[in-house]
Amino acid sequence: MVLSKKFQSQSEAIASFDAQELASGLGIVHFYCFSTTTGSTVYNIGTSADIRSSDITIAATNTTYTFNSSSFNLPRVAKGTAFVNLTRYSDGTNSITYAITLQRVDVDGNVTDIASAVNGVVATADMTTLAYRFPLTQTLFKVGDNLRLKLVVTGKAANTIHFGLDPSNRTAPAPSGITPSTFDLYMPFLIT
């Protein structure tokens, strides 16, 4: 008996894109901002929602937080419009400004701003999700580069402020109780 079809030694790769991604030529990557602690707190960007992370609690302002992705193992081009959702909670009324900058960090540590936005003064004593929109210029990320999100909190805080940082979207621990508790970045990359 002779078989007419040869067996494949490995399966073919199948890429799946929705119709909107194919029409725009952009794939949207959903990144989560989270923190890890091994001696000191490190702020990260990743694509896994299975990570357990607690919220940021700050009692003072004029503070900068930098969230870094791991190094990219393939080149990619950012293009289109990125979006960020930041959930914050305040124990009382504050007069705070939240500014976010998206950056490319090359293999030598050089930092290039690729987009930034400020979400005016937020003075409420409740939970608020701040939405940011970032029109991007075409930016090449080479192998070894990484993506950075820089959050700058400025103003006068009379009370404690909390930011949700849990990719699994669990309710933040007391006293903030933030729900949803994610800090999301939606980054568009060219489909190649």
pLDDT above 70 (res 59): no
- Report the predicted TM-score, pTM, of the whole model to 2 decimal places: 0.81
pLDDT in tens, 66-117: 999 999 999 999 999 999 988 887 777 777 788 999 999 999 999 999 999 9
The two structure tokens encoding residue 6: 């040869």
Domain that holds residue 152: 25-190
Domain count, the chain: 1
In a domain, 128, yes or no: yes
In a domain, 4, yes or no: no
Longest dimension (CA), the chain: 84
The pLDDT of residue 100: 94
* Cα→Cα distances 88→124, 159, 192, Å: 10, 13, 36
In a domain, 186, yes or no: yes
3-state secondary structure of 153: strand
pLDDT in tens, 1-55: 565 666 566 666 666 767 777 777 788 999 988 888 777 888 889 888 777 666 6
The CATH number assigned to the domain holding 57 equals 2.60.120.260
Weakest mean pLDDT among 21-25, 108-112, 159-163, 171-175? 171-175
128 or 158, which is more confident: 128
Q: Let me know: does 191 contact 17? Beta carbons within 8 Å.
A: yes
In a domain, 20, yes or no: no
